[in-house]
Structure 1
Amino acid sequence: MPAHITSLTVELRTDSPAVATSTPRLSWTVAAESPGWQQAWAELRRGDTVVRLEGRDSVLVDWPFAPLAAGERTTITVRAGSTDGDETPWSEPRALWAAFADEWIARPIALAQPIREAQPVLLRRAFHVDRPVRTATLHWTALGVADASLNGAPVDDLVLTPGWTSYRERLVYETSDVTALVREGENALGISLAGGWYTEEYGVLTAPRRFFGDQPRALAQLRLEFTDGTVQTIATGEPGALWRAHGDGPVVSSGIYAGEHVDARRHPVGWDSPGFDDAGWTAPSVVDMPLPALEARMAAPVREIERMPVRAVSRTASGRVLLDFGQNVVGRLRLRLSGPAGTIVTLRHAEVIEGSFDEGAELALRPLRDAAATDSYTLAGTGDEVFEPRFTFHGFRYADIDGWPGEFDPAAVEAIVLGSDLRRTGWFTSSDPLLDRFHENVVWTLRGNYLAVPQDCPQRDERLGWTGDTQLFAPTAEFLFDCHAFLRSWLRDLALEQRRLGGLVPLFAPDVVPGFSDRGPVAAWGDAIAIVPQVLADSSGDVSVLEEFYPGMRAWADLVLSHRDAEGLWTSGRQLADWLDPNAPPNAPSRGRTDTDIVATAYLVKTVRLTAAIARRLGHGADAARYEAAAAETGRAYLDAFVTASGRMMCDTQTAYAITIDFDLADDPTLRRRLGDRLAFVVRRDGYRIATGLVGTAVIAQALTATGHIDAAERLLFQTEAPSWLYPVTVGATTVWERWDGLRPDGSLNPGAMISFNHVALGSVAAWLHADVAGLSAAEPGYRVVRIAPRPLARLRHARARHETPYGPAESGWERTDAGVRVHAEIPPNTTGAVELPDGRTFEVGAGRHEWTIEPAEAGVAVAPVTLESSMADLADDPAAHRAFFATLATRPNRFIARAVAGNALYTPGRSIRDALVFADRATLDAVAEALASAPDPKGTS
């Protein structure tokens, strides 16, 4: 097939023709069968205007035409020619719509005399159209969450509009084309409004309180352009009692955490249609308040993503209908039901259950803390009715229903999955079903938590845009989905909060818990202001994101440098350190084994060094020199204080070694090798179980791989005993957990106060699966050069990663054959590939499909059978013997021995298995010896 344009995209949204700027940048991709295809020129056409561009640029190309006017619609096409003289035909037209307002005249309106806080309200405005309309455009937003309708029909398919921002400084607005909904004659515009995030009561280890406001407000302006050229604008806050409000609508109450309560008997039929009698409705108040900056939507909105049926039905011990959807999701339920007026149906939601599903299990509600997560519906009694909450969401796999009228029908309930409407861009598959399920769990976790803001969790009384979780997970997120606009929008809120705090980056954005999030700089969390923009720039090639947030990076760098002590270390303030280290006490997750000073100082060096590199790239030479010197000074202090010449860390923990290696804090090759060797030793000492919190988990596999110990990383990856990545999968997890053992092996809940079962941070290891195991990453920003560097794992027969780069699809993978390992790669047109094969060969390739074969490695040294006299290190190195050992102990009458050995064993040379069983009786020793002798020969698998 001849070369042709496969896509033409416009920043930053891919879900809609809408653009939020008058000069959007353009990107296009080419499909070409000829190898090494490189662009020599491109032509862009808008109407009769054609602009020719010489050279290779095809990503984020500056807008070459006259700026778009507000509301303008146009189409763009592109064609390109290669350096070999190949020429594509013109692409399919790409529609653009300048979805922004040239001015705002609307003012916020609200219920004039509310009788309770966060009171939902219906707003309507009747108007008459006396001549043909050419275009009708609605710009609308809310300090709260809203649905807009015109003549009884929704104006868009958006959910929880306009999402969540730092409302005091910034408010996103929607733009909807409603031309098809306007009619000549009588019309009615309706807005259903609730408090959402604006009126929510927030509290993280503090007493909950409302932060933004007590009542929701709406802003809207409808611009009617008639065929005769005249324009009329209908806006909230206009003079006269033209808008009407009603505070006793069907939504009785609604909250993000509490849930929503609807009384269908109160539904005013036809309230958003012409001819409705609004007697009894009142004029809304026009709120006299300084408006935040109004910004046209740049990121994809929240939408319904998918619907899921009920998978299983049971009854709780208390008699409620218990539903299992088979997948932990974020969203709400949709019910179709009928029954007598006044019947109340109550829905509760939870991620896990306590007890057996078929034997009277109850929802596990303790993890929700103070979030009621309860919806209710009072039937109108009018026949077939449909209930779906509109202004809340929940995280759940299970739900129970009380009060269902008549016989329950599972087909009458479905789960509505919600999330920001992000385009999928990355995939990973392997030969191991558990690993693939884990990766799928990472995908589901992102889908659920990337809702309006990058949440930490979607179910309990939190759901905040935590900075640390986001920066740790960002490389994984950017590979799996097109998150650029989504995260950039969130970064704007983070930058605004930082500016308000004088350079301090809060723990989350929007920052809604003053006194908790702003007590001082916190390493790994505040560093998001520098790290996340760099991740976005690396994945997209967009340097403007660095320019936009560089002032925040500089302010953060200056702040943390001011916190250094006399030795040049960061040893002060409240630190979260390696948060959720599995060795920390359940209710003290910051008290992990890795010293807080190590984490803080390591991040100081990492981020100040990164800021220096960005400053140099942006042309800020003086800043770059200052930060380079400061990073080097603290880097030396770090080594002096925490690292010995023999490669030992002051804290002999997985995280301490991993961050030292991954952050390049030891540049001496010999010292770096020693640190890597010790890290591998510590990982084996810990029984190839994870002993890292959020910070260490994000880098441990990379650190082991970079220092020649991918075998240890593999053993960690495929561990199925808690704590490990795969343990939750073995007990049915369908998303990534916050705690490694959120559910204990005996089925009980972890006793800690924080046990979310849908949490992004520990899924950060997927970045290693993509870049190292499958071998696909960006060697230059934006994948202009694609890195192909697979690292085959002994446990796997094959692995593959695929990513939709800005230049088109790229792929890297490998499979085992009789001839060895066959590596394959796909390099997009207009890029090149930097290849690093497992046998050490390195070279560059052009665009196209490539394949190489790696000859089989020589057989390894035979491993001696494990006996009672073998060391505990030998036991750790033989997965089959390890399984047999603990399986045997679990069957012995004295179960204490199994628990004691599992909890206290150190897998080190010189410590024999017999020594570990010093308190075992002769029968137990004999049983263990027999089990070890019967274990399969070592295969290097777990």
Structure 2
Amino acid sequence: MLKVSKILIDRQENPAALSEPTPYLGWQLESDRQNVHQTAYRICIRDGLMPFWDSGRITGSESAAVRYAGPPLNEECRYTLELTVWDNHGESAQGKAEFSTALFAPRFLTAQWITHTLADNHSECPVFVRHFSAEPVQKARLYLSACGIYTVRLNGQEVSQDWFAPGWTEYASRLQYQVYDVTALIQPENTLEITTANGWYAGYLNGTRQVYGKQTAIFAELSLTCMDSHRVTVATDVRWQWYLGQHREAEFYHGERIDRTAVPTAPQPVVLAEDLNAHAPALVPQQCEPVRVLERRAPVQLLHTPDGTPILDFGQNMAGVVRLDWQGSPGQEITLRFAEALTPDGSLYTANLRTAKATDTFVCSGGKDTFVPRFTYHGFRYVSIAGMGGNPPLDAFTALVLGTDAAATAQFSCSSPLVNRLWANIVWGQRSNFVDVPTDCPQRDERLGWTGDAAVFCRTAAQNEDVYRFFRKWLADLAIGQAADGGVPHIVPNVNGQGSGGAAVWCDAAVTIPWTLYELYGERDILERQYPSMKAWVEYMRRQETPDHLRQCGFQHGDWLALDREEGRGNRGSTDAYLIASAYYAHCTRLLAKAAAVLGKAQEVAEYTALHRAICSGFQQEYITATGRVVGETQTALALILLFDLARAEHRDRIAQSLVQNLDKHQGHLTTGFIGTPILMDALSKIGRNDLAGKLLLNEDFPGWLYEVRCGATTMWERWDSVRPDGSFDESGMNSFNHYAFGAVGDWLLEQLVGIRPAEPGYRAITLQPQLIQGITQACALRTTPYGRVRLAWQCLNHLITVEVEIPANTTAQLFLPEQEGSITLGSGSYQYSYATETDLTPQRFTMDTPLRTMLADADAKAVLSAALPGMLDGPAAAFLAGKSFNDLKGMMPGGEALFAQLLTKLNQLC
């Protein structure tokens, strides 16, 4: 039976404040049949009871990104959408959705910007208030924006559960506004209160204050439609007042102070914000999902520092705040300090916070109090408590996990608990750092929208969650911050105020992120919006190119935080920065040509295709010798050349072998940074060396993903050596334990290990190609695509391979079974395949290349080694031997090869 399971309008279900007058529509189908595809559809839209638009029956299979083709929707209207679809089996199905439109351009709002009279350097939270009478209403809508961040209450009730509204945009150009239906809250006598805090607008940001303005201000209009249909408005003007309530201090970096004993100050008249009223930024409706409480977590244990200070362990690094429910004595002051880690002696590790105080203070009223900071957030796992004695009750505390409320779209699991924890760390890193913009970290005095971090993680992010609208909003700000010459800021929104930048990967986000979104969501809308920005960036690079079409000028971040960095290079790896810049120049030019093809720009397709060929030719002349040797054969350089197809065909095998040899030189470990790490695994898969990619993935010693997991990480680290093998912390002051860039391996887990990837944009056609690697005996993933759910599960146990797949209606897939020739073409439905194999994927925790120190970290393994190597592991040579592997030691004693092979077998059986 055919069924319409979901209808999306601008990628939202039943949106209450649609901001697009001609949105994209999409729907998902389900059926208990196989090989189901849509043959026709019909869309009818009603405005109340009146017909508004009827598409008629349209023959076609498109269902994921259908542009609304009727007359532009009207503002502030409620619509009903009725959908009928027909399939190739002669069945039909109906679906219905309701949606309301916002003000597409709020030109008829009568509100004025108002502000308070606090000193410019304040951190208090002024409350703007208006009392008004109202007759019975049939509809009440509140339109609200602020310079700063706000919460809003009507008659004592919170109007919204959104956090940090109106969000962070390029404030000088545009501010978001929110729309709230408050019909149920209107009474004959009413009090509307809007509390503001500095937030990103006037608070501490990137080493300074008041980047955008000196004082908070609000712009609000309450539109009341009375029972006889006439309209009354209550708008911000000089009739409003302001006062100070109980939120007495609030800053993102430093924390919040809530004083329940504080007596509200006497209301004072507001003043008009003359500059804003004269030169107000454009008001735009909410562009993406808001920040909300995603989860509530209880502390898992109570710890104590050496001096007896209690510390709550929430068991998970996260971004958010802690709620306290407590009845204390009047004036009792309770202080919460936040940190991601503990020092070896059990104290809070705060060195990586830099100047961020990360402290919340609560003053009790004497009655039952609930303290919830609303104008700050912290990156933390641990919280020290002062003012409640040595053993505060755990049930008084709740961690509120904050992040952009995007729908989860992926699940992953495999036979390795450590890899499953890695996947969880990737997801937690994303939800902690997608806080209205894609930030670099949630804990220290930074939390900025670094373009490079977002660029390398975007594909993994878009697999994990529906981030289309999230990135669409952020890319619009990227384009606004782009300089007239096409240069792209390194941070978006551009708080540096320094115009443009030119660093490869960071600025390439202008091209790579829109194309990634198109590939994974299939909506050409993102290319239509961003194409001018994409083209401007490529032309910026083109104007700077050498006569050989290379990029060899300007500041470059290089392979940031790579382990192969040399003395004097700071945090930049040893890969030639201009090789990276030229490689990405070629890559972005090729993507721009592809985008031009999607948009039907034939002349520009030809132009940029030719430019791409010229860049590749110049790159080959500069960086690849006549015999195929790469100048500076780092892992990053080799991976870039292989993945971006920068070498001539006759040189690719040698370059691939050079990458293999480099990994062997480093005992199967990576040395890459922000640029090389996201592409290294894909490059190995491209050259058919998933075995090496698997070895990189499963390394448990330093450096590697599972090294972090074995060190207790619950999010991704900024540096491979955030915690060194000796247990000490990196001391650079730039040591975030929640930094998602290296989590870009999540894309490889889904697209290569499990094997689900789009064959056509938006997964209209799907490639299913699982990869078997030693040490993983089964893997499974679910991906919610624009067409519905794709599932692939494989298992290789007891010499039997089993593959299960589930393909959504209205799509097709090519299935490549492991160890089988060719592929199988499948329509929608569920399928299972089982067949015998000689392959044995039994996990081996240790290999001949594993350093002894890694083996000695396991108590059972240490006992075996101590018995087999008496006196060697605790004598004078112990430190030297700890860094050696069995391969290093086997030649040092007679019969060593056989001895260590037997030892390895025993250790893997035991551990």
TM range, normalised to the smaller chain?
A: over 0.9
**Aligned-pair CA distance for 1:396:** 0.4
Deviations along 1:20-74, whole A, 9 cap, x unmatched? 1233322111111111101111233334645432211212223255543322122
1:619 equivalent in alignment to 2:600: yes
Report the AA paired with residue 286 of structure 2.
Answer: R
2 CA distance for matches of 1:890 and 1:73? 75
TM-score by length of 1: 0.89
Counterpart selection for 2:452 from 443, 447, 468: 468
**Aligned-pair CA distance for 1:235:** 1.3
Change (3 A) 1:324 1:939: closer
Provide the residue aligned with 1:243 in structure 2.
240
Change (3 A) 1:150 1:327: same
1 CA distance for matches of 2:853 and 2:685? 20
Provide the residue aligned with 1:699 in structure 2.
679
Provide the residue aligned with 1:134 in structure 2.
138
Provide the residue aligned with 2:383 in structure 1.
399
Aligned-residue identity in percent? 33
**Aligned-pair CA distance for 1:14:** 4.4
Aligned runs of 1:895-914 on 2, under 5 Å?
Answer: 895-898=878-881, 913=889
Change (3 A) 1:411 1:523: same
1:790 equivalent in alignment to 2:773: no
**Aligned-pair CA distance for 1:113:** 4.2
Report the AA paired with residue 79 of structure 2.
Answer: T
Change (3 A) 1:627 1:115: closer
Change (3 A) 1:344 1:882: closer
Aligned runs of 1:254-403 on 2, under 5 Å?
Answer: 254-266=250-262, 268=264, 280-289=267-276, 290-356=279-345, 361-381=346-366, 383-403=367-387
2 CA distance for matches of 1:602 and 1:156? 47
Deviations along 1:730-776, whole A, 9 cap, x unmatched? 11111111111211233211122211111111010110110111010
Aligned runs of 1:51-90 on 2, under 5 Å?
Answer: 51-88=56-93, 90=94
Provide the residue aligned with 2:610 in structure 1.
629
Any conservation in 2 of the 1:142–1:219 contact (CA below 8 Å)?
A: yes
1 CA distance for matches of 2:735 and 2:98? 46
**Aligned-pair CA distance for 1:171:** 0.8
**Aligned-pair CA distance for 1:125:** 0.8
1 CA distance for matches of 2:401 and 2:285? 25
Any conservation in 1 of the 2:575–2:634 contact (CA below 8 Å)?
A: yes
Report the AA paired with residue 122 of structure 2.
Answer: E
Aligned runs of 1:191-590 on 2, under 5 Å?
Answer: 191-203=194-206, 208-236=208-236, 238=237, 241-246=238-243, 248-266=244-262, 268=264, 280-289=267-276, 290-356=279-345, 361-381=346-366, 383-404=367-388, 408-498=392-482, 500=483, 502-515=485-498, 518=499, 520-584=501-565, 589-590=570-571
CA RMSD of aligned residues (A): 2.9
Provide the residue aligned with 2:837 in structure 1.
856
1 CA distance for matches of 2:356 and 2:215? 20
Change (3 A) 1:386 1:229: same
**Aligned-pair CA distance for 1:878:** 13
2 CA distance for matches of 1:926 and 1:262? 71
Mean alpha-carbon deviation: is it higher for 55-64 or for 152-161?
55-64
Any conservation in 1 of the 2:796–2:840 contact (CA below 8 Å)?
A: no
Any conservation in 2 of the 1:328–1:734 contact (CA below 8 Å)?
A: yes
Any conservation in 1 of the 2:120–2:214 contact (CA below 8 Å)?
A: no
2 CA distance for matches of 1:735 and 1:407? 28
1 CA distance for matches of 2:694 and 2:711? 21
1 CA distance for matches of 2:852 and 2:793? 28
**Aligned-pair CA distance for 1:608:** 1.3
1:664 equivalent in alignment to 2:645: yes
Partner of 1:23, secondary structure, is coil
Provide the residue aligned with 1:869 in structure 2.
none
Report the AA paired with residue 248 of structure 2.
Answer: V
**Aligned-pair CA distance for 1:364:** 0.5
1 CA distance for matches of 2:307 and 2:168? 37
Partner of 2:574, secondary structure, is coil
TM-score by length of 2: 0.92
Partner of 2:119, secondary structure, is coil
Report the AA paired with residue 274 of structure 2.
Answer: V
2 CA distance for matches of 1:71 and 1:875? 66
Provide the residue aligned with 2:100 in structure 1.
97
Any conservation in 2 of the 1:23–1:67 contact (CA below 8 Å)?
A: yes
Counterpart selection for 2:825 from 844, 849, 855: 844
2 CA distance for matches of 1:506 and 1:279? 44
Report the AA paired with residue 18 of structure 2.
Answer: V
Any conservation in 2 of the 1:11–1:60 contact (CA below 8 Å)?
A: no
Change (3 A) 1:940 1:678: farther
1:936 equivalent in alignment to 2:899: no
Any conservation in 2 of the 1:119–1:216 contact (CA below 8 Å)?
A: no
Provide the residue aligned with 1:652 in structure 2.
633
Provide the residue aligned with 1:187 in structure 2.
190
Mean alpha-carbon deviation: is it higher for 582-591 or for 102-111?
582-591
Any conservation in 2 of the 1:112–1:285 contact (CA below 8 Å)?
A: no
Aligned runs of 1:91-130 on 2, under 5 Å?
Answer: 91=95, 93-100=96-103, 102-103=106-107, 104-114=109-119, 116-129=121-134
Any conservation in 2 of the 1:117–1:214 contact (CA below 8 Å)?
A: no
**Aligned-pair CA distance for 1:466:** 0.9
Provide the residue aligned with 2:168 in structure 1.
164
Any conservation in 2 of the 1:799–1:814 contact (CA below 8 Å)?
A: yes
2 CA distance for matches of 1:469 and 1:941? 41
Partner of 1:288, secondary structure, is helix
Partner of 2:658, secondary structure, is helix
Any conservation in 1 of the 2:313–2:383 contact (CA below 8 Å)?
A: yes
Provide the residue aligned with 1:271 in structure 2.
none
Deviations along 1:772-806, whole A, 9 cap, x unmatched? 11010110001110111111122111111211111
Report the AA paired with residue 190 of structure 2.
Answer: N
Counterpart selection for 1:177 from 166, 181, 195: 181
**Aligned-pair CA distance for 1:662:** 0.9
Partner of 1:737, secondary structure, is coil
2 CA distance for matches of 1:567 and 1:46? 56
Any conservation in 1 of the 2:17–2:99 contact (CA below 8 Å)?
A: yes
Deviations along 1:820-840, whole A, 9 cap, x unmatched? 322222111011112233323
Change (3 A) 1:348 1:880: closer
Give ranges in structure 1 of 5+ residues lacking alignment: 269-277, 867-872
**Aligned-pair CA distance for 1:155:** 1.1
Any conservation in 1 of the 2:323–2:399 contact (CA below 8 Å)?
A: yes
1:607 equivalent in alignment to 2:588: yes
Any conservation in 1 of the 2:848–2:904 contact (CA below 8 Å)?
A: no
Any conservation in 2 of the 1:795–1:940 contact (CA below 8 Å)?
A: no
Provide the residue aligned with 2:41 in structure 1.
42
Any conservation in 1 of the 2:310–2:391 contact (CA below 8 Å)?
A: no
**Aligned-pair CA distance for 1:941:** 14
Report the AA paired with residue 416 of structure 2.
Answer: D
Change (3 A) 1:334 1:558: same
Change (3 A) 1:778 1:573: same
